[in-house]
């Protein structure tokens, strides 16, 4: 089992691609600026996932596009199939099995893997790689995008200062009558 198999068990396809991006930027093969990846050199590793990441960004590409492309690639399908055959991943929904969770717990207690493989890019020190991976979120197409925009618009309406009462509460628009 290599680090990408552990990454798959810990966080699925996205974690595998994020781990490959971290490894390749540490090697100097990829450059990550803001949310764009660019290939800067030749891979020193022969791992299929790393080659798929490099192939996905021959020029500058958005991180989310690379994650989506490589997440549906043949190397990740092969890795998932291998983990299913080992009984570490369920076949249909690709969820980590009890045996897979035990293996992850053993790897975590052993401390032989980089933390970002098991816990994701949030554990990386503050640098462009962490920022680029964490800020790369896709907006869903169609209805999802519309609903997200509507939610933001409603949040903006409710947080405006015109609805606030002088005492800091929310005004109701009525007046209190007195005797």
pLDDT tens, residue order, the chain (179 aa): 899 999 999 999 999 999 998 889 888 888 888 788 888 877 676 799 999 999 898 888 888 999 999 999 999 999 999 999 999 999 888 899 999 999 999 999 999 899 899 988 888 876 767 767 776 665 555 666 677 667 767 765 554 444 444 554 444 455 555 55
DSSP class of 142: T
- Residue 67 Cα distances to 72, 85, 171, 173, angstroms: 9, 25, 46, 49
Beta bridge partners of 36: 33, 62
pLDDT for res 71: 93
pLDDT for res 32: 85
Pick the closest to residue 127 from 58, 48, 33, 54 (CA basis): 33
Cα 133–Cα 41–Cα 18 angle in degrees, nearest 5: 20
The pTM (predicted TM-score) of the whole model is 0.72
Tell me how far the alpha carbon of residue 22 is from its chain's centroid: 12
> d(Cα 70, Cα 82) in Å, to the nearest integer?
17
> d(Cα 164, Cα 51) in Å, to the nearest integer?
56
pLDDT for res 101: 95
């Amino acid at each position: 089992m290599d680090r990408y198999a552990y990454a798959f068990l810990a966080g699925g396809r996205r974690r595998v691609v994020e781990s490959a991006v971290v490894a390749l930027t540490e090697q100097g093969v990829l450059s990550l600026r803001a949310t764009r990846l660019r290939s800067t050199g030749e891979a020193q590793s022969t791992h299929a996932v790393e080659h798929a990441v490099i192939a996905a960004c021959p020029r500058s590409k958005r991180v989310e596009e690379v994650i989506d492309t490589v997440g549906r690639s043949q190397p990740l399908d092969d890795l998932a199939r291998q983990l299913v055959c080992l009984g570490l991943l369920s076949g249909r929904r690709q969820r980590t099995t009890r045996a897979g969770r035990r293996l992850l717990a053993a790897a975590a207690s052993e401390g032989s893997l980089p933390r970002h493989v098991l816990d994701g890019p949030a554990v990386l020190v503050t640098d462009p790689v962490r920022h680029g991976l964490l800020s790369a979120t896709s907006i869903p197409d169609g209805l999802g995008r519309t609903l997200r925009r509507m939610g933001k618009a409603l949040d903006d309406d409710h947080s405006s200062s015109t609805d606030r009462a002088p005492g800091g509460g929310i005004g109701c628009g009525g007046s209190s009558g007195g005797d």
